[in-house]
């Protein structure tokens, strides 16, 4: 049910952004990607993941919203189920420096948490840029709110946030990106790294190979500290 809601919201956002981008104000762009794999015979497995990203730039403001969903099953038993909504707004002083605010909501059925919500503010800067390569770094502070599946009490804590984003245009048909994200508080330090290679197929259509590592320093009992995800998805760019 939640996967359906996320997909409907993602499709609606993508459609709205595409229409908005045709107006005189412009500025909207983004991508929608989906991946699916199924096996049958000696084993019955399914894996589905989808992601919608919307971006808007109209100086001095810049907005980035994303919806993600992931679901895997093995022999009709769900082995992974995760939903994410994240939004970030930047106020740029110039082309290289900016203030930012973020909101992130995550519901991971197999993390031991019912949900996690964080909000942060901070400063970011583009520290390196060439025609083919750029690197942005960010640092901020905020709060995180977590609810364990086994408890009715919410855990609220102060956190510091660090992030880095690298983009490398290898060629007109290939782009490599690396996104590193860290939230650290008294109770837990969460780190996420997403490495991706995007290969253009034709027009606005591309394929993406990605490798994600997610690590929590302190997790509920019977929960692993580290998750890894390897994904191959079909991507539709729009602007």
**Contact in structure between 224 and 196 (CB atoms under 8 Å):** no
pLDDT score for 145: 92
Written in H, E and C, the secondary structure of 82-150 is EEEEEEEEEEECCCCEEEEEEEEEEEECCCCEEEEEEEEEEEEEEEEECCCEEEEEEEEEEEEEEEECC
Rounded to 5 degrees, what angle do the CA atoms 167, 198, 67 make? 85
Cα–Cα distance, 202 to 42 (Å, whole number): 36
CA distance to 25, 144, 197, per residue, from 232 (Å) = 34, 31, 10
pLDDT in tens, 97-125: 999 999 999 998 877 778 899 999 999 99
Q: Which two tokens stand for residue 179?
A: 């996104």
pLDDT score for 41: 65
pTM for this prediction? 0.83
What single DSSP character describes residue 5? Answer: H
Domain that holds residue 162: 2-238
pLDDT score for 24: 36
pLDDT score for 60: 93
CATH number of 8's domain: 2.40.160.40
- What is the total count of domains within the chain? 1
Positions in the chain short of pLDDT 70: 1-26, 39-43
**Contact in structure between 191 and 164 (CB atoms under 8 Å):** no
């Amino acid at each position: 049910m939640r996967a359906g809601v996320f997909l409907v919201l993602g499709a609606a956002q993508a459609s709205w952004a595409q229409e908005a981008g045709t107006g005189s104000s412009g500025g909207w762009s983004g991508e929608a990607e989906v991946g699916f794999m199924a096996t049958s015979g000696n084993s019955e497995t399914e894996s589905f993941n989808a992601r919608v990203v919307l971006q808007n730039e109209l100086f001095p403001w810049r907005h980035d919203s994303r919806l993600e969903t992931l679901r895997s099953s093995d022999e009709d038993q769900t082995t992974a189920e995760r939903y994410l909504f994240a939004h970030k707004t930047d106020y740029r002083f110039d082309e290289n420096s900016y203030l930012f605010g973020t909101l992130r909501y995550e519901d991971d059925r197999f993390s031991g948490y019912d949900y996690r919500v964080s909000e942060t503010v901070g400063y970011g800067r583009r520290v390196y840029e060439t025609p083919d390569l750029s690197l942005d770094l960010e640092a901020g502070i905020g709060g995180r709110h977590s609810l364990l599946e086994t408890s009715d009490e919410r855990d609220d804590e102060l956190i510091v946030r660090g992030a880095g984003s690298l983009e490398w245009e290898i060629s007109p048909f290939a782009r490599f990106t690396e996104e590193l994200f860290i939230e650290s508080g008294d109770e837990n330090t969460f780190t996420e790294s997403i490495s991706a290679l995007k290969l253009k197929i034709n027009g606005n259509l591309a394929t993406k190979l990605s490798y994600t590592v997610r690590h929590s320093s302190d997790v509920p009992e019977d929960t692993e500290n580290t998750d890894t995800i390897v994904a191959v998805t079909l991507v539709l760019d729009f602007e």
